[in-house]
Structure 1
Amino acid sequence: MPSAVSAEISTTQLQKLQFSPNNSFNRTTLTKTLAISGLVLYLFSIFLFNDHPNCQASHFFLPLGFTRPTPPKPNPTDHHSPTDLSHIVFGLLGSEKGWRYRKSYVETWWRPNVTRGYLYLDRAPAKDLFPWSSSSPPFRVFEDNAKLLDLEESKHVAPILVRLVHAILEAFRQEQEGVRWYVMGDDDTIFFVDNMVGVLSGYDHTKYFYIGGHSETLRSNFFHSFDMGFGGAGFALSYPLAAALARDLENCLERYWYLRVSDQFLMSCVADFGVSLTAHKGLHQIDLLHDISGLLSAHPQAPLLSLHHFDKVDPIFPAMNRIESTNHLMKAANVDQSRLLQQTICYQKQTNRSFSISWGYSAHVYENVFPRSILKKPLETFRPWSKDRPPRPPHYRFDTRWPSDDPCEAPHVFFFESVGKSGRGDEIVTNYVRSWPRGLPACSVFGNHSADYISKIQVLSPVMKLPEDGRSECCDVSPLGGTNIIGVKLRACMEDEIIA
C-alpha cells in the first residue's frame, strides 16, 4: 500500500534531476520519473478519498492560504417548517384564590409535557394546592412589582397593568427557544390548541402580529376599543412583536400609566409599533349572561379557538354542571377540533324540515324550510353583559333571532351525546339526543309534519380535517329505516350548490 512518504520526491532527487550539460540524466529520464511520481500521487489520492467519503478532492486543489467556508449549521428554529404546538407558549393569568375553582377548566385542554407555558399567580399557592397536579401548567408567582407600581410620586400604575406586563415579560424570558407565538389568556378560558395551531400557521410568525377577538357585547367594544383584543378570550403575539414589547413594556407603563384596563394598555403599546389588531371570530370573550346555547349552536364560520367566562354563564349542556359540560365538549374536541361548533345546514324537502348541526354540540330541527341566511343568526337565548336593567340596545356585534313559540319557527333541540368511529373506520359518528319535548303542536302551515317522534340525530362526518376553503360543509338527510333516528351525512358542497 503506497504511503505519503513513498509518494514524495526528496530535495536530493530533485537536485539530481536538474538539467545541466554534464548531467548523466537526460530529458527522457526526467520525464519518466515525473510521470511515475504523478501516477503514485494519483493512486494515493484515490485511496484517501475512497477511505474518507466525506472528504472532497477539490479541497486539495485550492490555492494556498484559501480556506473553503464551512457550511452553516442547521437552524434549530427553521422558520419554513410547519407551525406545531411546540412553537406556541401559553401564559395564563390567574389568582391563587381562583385557581381552586378554575384548574378543572384548564386541565381539560392542557396537555402535560406537550403544551408549553405557565400559570402566573398573584401569590404562592397555599399548602392545600400541593402536591401540584401534573395535569396543570407549571406555576410562577409574579415578581415583586413595587418599583413599577409607583413610577413617580404623582403617577400610580394600576396593579392589573403590571401583572399583564410581567406575565408577558416573564413568558418571553423563560421560553424563547423555537417559539413563534405567545398566547396570553385567563385561567377560566378554555383553549382549543389544535385549532390554535392551524390558525396561527396561516400567519407569518416572522412579522409583527397581534391577533385577538372582540367582545360579543357592542357596548364593551364601544367603551374600550374596537381595535382591542379582549384578553380573557386570549390574544396571540408573534415572536418579533413580543420581543419588541419586552424591550419597551416598562417604558410603555410610563407612557400609559393612567390606563386602568390591561387589554387597552397592551393595545396602546402595540399601536406604538405601528401594529393594529388582527381580529379573529373564533376567540370568544363571552361577555354574555345565562344560556349561551343559542350562540354555540350558530357559531361563526371560523375555527373555535377559545371560550372565556365559563363561571359567568349557565352550564352549556343540560343536566350537567360547568365542569361536566366542559369535559363533555372536549370529548368531541379531542376527536375533531376542526369541525367543533361548525354549523352545517341541510333540508328534508318532502317534509319541509330544516336541519342545523353544530358539530359536537347541538342539532336543531325546524318544521319549516329556512334559508341559511336566517339559520346562521344565533337564537338570543342569552342576555348582554351590562349593568343596565333592562339593558339598552344595541346589544351585540352580530345579528340574532328572538326565540319564538310559533311551532313553524321554534326548533326541536338536541344536544351532543357521544362520538366515535363508524364500523368501517372511515367516518366519525356523533349522536345528538333530545333533552326535553318541544311542547308545541306541529306546524300546520307546512303540512303538519311533526318532528316530535325524533329522539336522536346521528351525524356522519369525514375523518379528514375540515378544509378552510371559505365554505361551510353541506349535508344530506336520510331517516334510518323504521326508527326514530334521523341520519345526517356531512360532505363537501358541490360547485355552485345552493343551501336553501
Structure 2
Amino acid sequence: MALNHIVFGIVGSEKAWRFRKTYIESWWRPNHTNGYLFLDKPPGPPLLPWPETSPPFRVSDDLTDLLNNKSDIRAQRMVHGIMEVLREVKDHKTLRWVVMGDDDSIFFVDNIVDVLAKYDHTKYYYLGGHSEFILSNYYFSFNQAFGGGGIMLSYPLAKALAGDIESCLKRYVFLNSADNTTKACIADIGVNLTPHQGNHQVDFRGDISGFLSTHPLAPLLSLHHFDMVDPIFPAKDRFQSTRHLMTAAKADQSRMLQQTICYDRRSNWSLSISWGYSAHIYERIMPRSYLIIPIETFTPWLKTLKPPNYMFNTRSRSSADPCEAPHVFFFDSVQETAAIGSGGGIVTSYSRAWPRPLPACLSSGNHSADFIQRILVFSPPTKRTSTDRCECCDIIKADGGEAEVIVRECRSNEIIA
C-alpha cells in the first residue's frame, strides 16, 4: 500500500479558497499526492496563476437540471464530487481508496496509508469518524462519517456509489446534509460505517488543547474546522499553527498526538506528553485511567441546556487546585538526534506556555514544577506499527529548568499508575 493508491477529493468554494489554501498546502505533497480540488466556480484573477503547491482544481458539475432547480445544492454537490473525482482518474488499475474532505481538512497522509493498508481494498468499506458533539450524531446519524474529518471509501464501493449517484441524489433530494446523503446512498448499497477514532470533525468551539492533549489510542488521520476554533498554539495564528503542527508530523506521523505518561517518584510528579503537540506536568501521581480523560478547555459546537455534550467523558478545567491544574507546555521544535543509542532518534522540545500562578501541591510533598521551562522528549527513529497499547516513558532529568524524557515500549507487565 502506497500513497499513489489513494485519490483525494477536496470540495471547496472559490470565495473561501484564498483563506483556506494554507490548510490544504500544509499536507499536500506536489507530484506525490493524487487528487483534485473541486470549486463551485472557476478561480478569479486573484487566485491565478494556479500554484503547484495546491491540488489541481476542477469546477464542480452544474446539478441544477438534475435536481429540478433546487435552490440550495451544496450538499448534493459534495456528494456528486465522489463520482467526479473518479471520473478524473485516468488509470484505475492502481486505485484502491477514495478520500473525500473539505477545504479546511488537514490530513495526515502517512497515517492514512498505514491505516487503510490494514483493510482489504477489494471489499466494500466506508470509513470515517463520528462528530465529537453528541447532538450532531443524534440529529444526523450515529452511523455516518462526518466529511470534514474525511470520508474514506474503498474503490469498489466508490465505483458502485458513483454508478448510482445521480439516481441517489434524486432519491434523497430532500436531505440538506452532504454527509447524511452520502451515508444514505451507501446504506442503499448495503454497507455500513466502519468508524475510526483518528478522523476528527472537531465540532468544538474555543480552545481545543484539552482534546488534542489526550488523543485516543489510534493513528491521527485528520483534523477539521480550524476556522472555528482558537489557534492551537500560543502566539500563533491558525495558519501558523497548522504549519507548526505539520513540522512534527513530517518527522513522525505515527506518534502524532499519541499520549505517553510517566512519573517522577522523587517529586511525585505525573508527566503526560501528547507527542508533537503538548506536555503537562501534574504535581501529584495520577493513574493513566484519569489522565486520558480530556480537560474540557473547549465548549460545545452548539449551546445546550445540559450535558451530555460530547461522545466522551471530560474533566473540568480546574485553575484553583494546585494538585489538579497542570503546568502546560507546547511543542516548540523537532530534530533528529544521535542521543538514543547507536540508532539515533527524534527529539521534540516543549516550552512552557505561561506561568502557573498557583502554589505547590502540598498533599504530594510540596515539590513545585515552576522551575521547569522546557521538556525534551527523546523517541525512537522507527515509526509505530502497532496501536494495541500506548508507549511508556522514563524521566531521566528534572533540573536546571529542564526535564528530559525517553519514550520506549512498555514492558510486558508494566502498570502506568
Counterpart-to-counterpart distance in 2, 1:273 and 1:419:
46
Q: Normalized against structure 2, the TM-score is what?
A: 0.97
Number of the residue aligned with 1:496: 413
Look up the SS of the partner of 1:178 in the other structure: coil
Q: Does 1:467 align with 2:381?
A: no
**Residue pair 1:102, 1:188 contacting (<8 A) in 2 also:** yes
Q: Does 1:421 align with 2:336?
A: yes
**In the TM superposition, what whole-angstrom CA distance separates every residue of 1:84-111 from its partner, at most 9, and x where no partner exists?**
1000000001000000100011100000
Counterpart-to-counterpart distance in 2, 1:456 and 1:161:
47
1:164 to 78, 91, 94: 78
Cα deviation, residue 256, structure 1: 1.3
Number of the residue aligned with 1:340: 256
Letter in 1 for 2:416: I
Q: Does 1:402 align with 2:316?
A: yes
Number of the residue aligned with 1:457: 375
Counterpart-to-counterpart distance in 2, 1:157 and 1:114:
38
Structure 1, unmatched stretches of 5+, are 1-82
**Aligned-pair identity (%):** 58
Counterpart-to-counterpart distance in 1, 2:119 and 2:284:
41
Cα deviation, residue 260, structure 1: 1.2
Structure 2, unmatched stretches of 5+, are none
**In the TM superposition, what whole-angstrom CA distance separates every residue of 1:134-165 from its partner, at most 9, and x where no partner exists?**
100000001222221218xxxx4850233123
Q: Normalized against structure 1, the TM-score is what?
A: 0.81
2:404 to 487, 492, 496: 487
1:223 to 116, 139, 143: 139
Counterpart-to-counterpart distance in 2, 1:169 and 1:107:
24
Counterpart-to-counterpart distance in 2, 1:97 and 1:160:
14
**Residue pair 1:149, 1:157 contacting (<8 A) in 2 also:** no
Q: Does 1:435 align with 2:345?
A: no
**Residue pair 1:148, 1:162 contacting (<8 A) in 2 also:** no
Matched residue count: 411
**In the TM superposition, what whole-angstrom CA distance separates every residue of 1:335-387 from its partner, at most 9, and x where no partner exists?**
00000000000111111100000000000000011100100001000000004
* RMSD over equivalenced CA pairs, Å: 1.2
Cα deviation, residue 313, structure 1: 0.4
Number of the residue aligned with 2:23: 105
Counterpart-to-counterpart distance in 1, 2:66 and 2:290:
51
Q: Does 1:412 align with 2:308?
A: no
Counterpart-to-counterpart distance in 2, 1:223 and 1:295:
23
Counterpart-to-counterpart distance in 2, 1:426 and 1:219:
47
1:175-194 to structure 2, matched below 5 A, reads 175=89, 176-194=92-110
CA 1:157 to 1:246, structure 2 compared with 1: closer, same or farther past 3 Å? farther
Cα deviation, residue 423, structure 1: 3.2
Moved more, 185-194 or 165-174: 165-174
Letter in 1 for 2:171: R
Look up the SS of the partner of 1:494 in the other structure: coil
Counterpart-to-counterpart distance in 2, 1:94 and 1:392:
34
**Residue pair 1:157, 1:258 contacting (<8 A) in 2 also:** no
Letter in 2 for 1:169: M
**In the TM superposition, what whole-angstrom CA distance separates every residue of 1:432-454 from its partner, at most 9, and x where no partner exists?**
01021011000011110000011
**Residue pair 1:292, 1:316 contacting (<8 A) in 2 also:** yes
Letter in 1 for 2:412: E
Letter in 2 for 1:114: H
Counterpart-to-counterpart distance in 1, 2:38 and 2:93:
20
1:258-273 to structure 2, matched below 5 A, reads 258-273=174-189
1:107-186 to structure 2, matched below 5 A, reads 107-150=25-68, 156=70, 158-175=72-89, 176-186=92-102
Moved more, 454-463 or 471-480: 471-480
Q: Which has the larger radius of gyration?
A: 1
2:9 to 91, 111, 116: 91
Look up the SS of the partner of 1:143 in the other structure: coil
**Residue pair 1:158, 1:257 contacting (<8 A) in 2 also:** no
Cα deviation, residue 250, structure 1: 1.0
Letter in 2 for 1:236: M
**In the TM superposition, what whole-angstrom CA distance separates every residue of 1:56-82 from its partner, at most 9, and x where no partner exists?**
xxxxxxxxxxxxxxxxxxxxxxxxxxx
Runs ≥4 in structure 1, deviation > 4 angstroms?
none
The structure with the largest strand share of the pair is 2
**Residue pair 2:67, 2:170 contacting (<8 A) in 1 also:** no
Counterpart-to-counterpart distance in 2, 1:451 and 1:263:
46
Counterpart-to-counterpart distance in 2, 1:208 and 1:370:
43
Which structure's relative contact order is higher, taking Cα pairs within 8 Å and 6+ residues apart? 2
